[in-house]
Amino acid sequence: MIFTVMKGRAHKFGDGISTDHIVPGKYAHLRSNLPELAKHVMEDADPTFLSRVRPGDFLVAGKNFGLGSSREHAAVVIKMVGISAILAKSVARIFFRNAINQGLPVLICDTDMINDGDEIEVDLAAGTITNLTSGIKLTFGKIPEVMLNIMKEGGLIPYINKYGDFKL
């Protein structure tokens, strides 16, 4: 369950990482083949990302992460390659909903305090992020309750399957 403490390494990106960086539009023909599509995750931002990412790692970004298209595939492939949470200074609206709907936590925090390769620990229940490399502790912005509830169920479809409707 995602509310246990998560530990992993940071993969750091800059500001304005768009959905075209995450899953380039030129691979739109692979969108019905998610394992194939996932092989191109973040390709236009950092072609070495896929070879370096390990299950449990964190994707760390600057401002406006995930801007652009509504393709939920962006959140899906990030989750598929094992990223346990996204940490960013801010996140674009549609991507934010998509990630939560996939049960992928998105935490808004001051990512200037995290460097590429740092060991990070996230305690969702306690609301803290610890940079184990530097020893710095960070807090993250409050996630709206409706989204928290969706995330707890592992995503929107399981949530709807459990409750049958939205519960605000």
Partner 1 sequence: MGKTLSEKILSQKSGTDARAGDMVIAAVDWVFVQDTTGTLTIRQFRESKKTGLASPERTVIFVDHAVPSPNRQFSNDHHFLRQFARETGCLFFEPGSGICHQLVAEKLASPGEVIVGADSHTVTAGGLGAFATGMGSSDVAVVFALGKTWFRVPESFKISLTGRFQKFVSSKDLILHLIGTIGADGATYKALEFVGDAVSHMAISQRLTVANMAVEAGAKVGVFPSDHVTKEFLRKQGRGRNYVALHPDDDATYEQTIAIDISKLEPMVAMPHSVDNVAPVQTLAGAKIDQVFIGTCTNGRLEDIAIAAKILEGKKCHPNVRLIVAPASRKVLLDAIKAGYVEILVNAGAILVPPGCAACLGVHQGALGDNEVCLSTANRNFKGRMGNPEALIYLASPATAAASAITGEITDPRGLVK
Query: For residue 96, how far is the Cα from the chain centroid?
Result: 9
Q: Please state, as a whole number, how many other Cβ atoms lie within 10 Å of the Cβ of residue 113.
A: 15
Per CB under 8 A, does 79 bind partner 1?
no
Per CB under 8 A, does 9 bind partner 1?
no
Per CB under 8 A, does 111 bind partner 1?
no
Report whether 127 contacts 149 (CB < 8 A): no
Report whether 91 contacts 64 (CB < 8 A): yes
Q: How far is the CB of 130 from partner 1 (least distance, A)?
A: 27
Q: How far is the CB of 156 from partner 1 (least distance, A)?
A: 4
Report whether 6 contacts 103 (CB < 8 A): no
Between 98 and 130, name the residue whose CB sits nearer to partner 1. 98
What distance in Å separates the CA atoms of residue 149 and residue 93, rounded to the nearest whole number? 18
For the chain, how far is it from start to end, CA to CA, in angstroms?
A: 22
Report whether 67 contacts 18 (CB < 8 A): yes
Q: How far is the CB of 15 from partner 1 (least distance, A)?
A: 9
Q: How far is the CB of 11 from partner 1 (least distance, A)?
A: 18
Per CB under 8 A, does 46 bind partner 1?
no
Residues at the site binding partner 1, with contacts judged by CB under 8 A = 16, 18, 20-21, 24-26, 28-33, 44, 63-64, 67-73, 75-76, 90, 92-95, 97-98, 101-102, 144, 146, 155-157, 160-161, 164-166, 168
